Every structure is written in structure tokens, then in C-alpha cells.
Amino acid sequence: MAHLVSLPKSVRLVYTGALFSSSERTQWPLGFEKASKDLMDWSSLIVALQEPLETIQDWQEIGASTVRVSRTEVEWIERLYTLRERAEVLGFLERHPFLVSLLLEAYGQIGNYFPGSQIFLEVLTDPEAFNDYQLIASIATNLGPDEAIDMLEQFDENWWLDALDRAQGKLCIDVEPR
């Protein structure tokens, strides 16, 4: 446990179970079964969380000091989300590392409103604004359009609007009908 102190907060939250508290949910979103199965092997998780410093990638945000995001965090993003244009999404996260912990937190929150839904990540540009890119988290849902919008509004009111400032205008969460 002494090694946990030096790990990024989002990894510590996964390790300690704070990120996915079973008291808050009754059904895990699609894809978490794979991630939770991996968590059951505590010895391999502990080894993964104690990865040597040479396996930690340096990530930089323009105009900021170097921020370190571990491969473990990136692996969690890839386990929980489906990445459209993987290299483009990971490059975006490299330029905006503050989104990693927000995405880890958002996954559990989204599951409270859209249980079992697959969530896609992709980078899109605003056609009206030159060089304005944003990461889009699209929740693929079987809900009807009206019900999906109602659930998204509840999600917005109960969590997303409070977390929105942390996204710094670089993350949008929306629904995508199946």
C-alpha cells in the first residue's frame, strides 16, 4: 500500500474501489465485467500499479508543465471505452491529460443513467471554428429518443454540469441511438 501514495489519484481510486462503489449502483455498464474480472486478480493489479518509472509516459499540455499519466490509466480508458480512431483519441488525451481522470469518473456516472451501454470516444472538430477540437463521449443506447434525452438531461443535472468546468471545453457527452 505504500506505493499507492505515488500513483495518480485516478489509479488510486480504481485500486481502492472508490471509483466504482457497489453501493451506488446495481448494474455495471457494458465492458466493466472485463475490467472487474481483471481487478479480481489482486496480485497482478498490484504489480501493474507498481510499474517502474520507465514505463510511465510523460504527457504535456501546451503551456503547462509536464504531467505524468501512467500506462495503467490509458489501459483503463481503453478497457472502459471504445475508441474510434484510437491514435487520434490517445493523441488528444496526450495533449489534454486532465481529461483522463474525468473520463474514469464519468464512466461510472454514465452507467448510473445508461446501464449496459457502450460508450465511444472520438475526436471531432467544430466545422465553424478553425482548429477547435473536442473529445466526444457517445453513449450508445437502446432507449427511445425521448427517453434517451430525458436520461441525458438527468445525467447533466445530477453530475455533468458540476463536472463541466474540469473538462475545460474539451469533452462533450452525448447519446447515440442504436
Per-residue pLDDT in tens (0 to 9) along the chain, 178 residues: 444 444 455 544 444 444 444 344 444 455 545 454 444 444 444 444 444 433 334 433 444 445 566 788 889 999 999 999 999 999 999 899 999 999 999 999 999 999 999 999 999 987 777 778 999 999 999 999 999 999 999 999 999 999 999 999 999 999 998 8
Helix (H, G, I), strand (E, B) or coil at 5: helix
H or E element that contains 85: none
The closest alpha carbon to 11, from 70, 81, 96, belongs to: 70
Burial 10-31, CB ≥16 within 10 A → b, else e: bbebbbeeebbeeeeeeebbbb
Task: Please give the model's pTM, rounded to 2 decimal places.
Answer: 0.64
pLDDT of residue 76: 95
Q: What nine digits make up the cell of 103?
A: 473520463
pLDDT of residue 155: 98
Q: Residue ranges of the domains in the chain? A: 2-177
pLDDT of residue 45: 44
Digit-coded pLDDT (tens) for 118-127: 999 999 987 7
pLDDT of residue 128: 75
H or E element that contains 68: strand 66-69
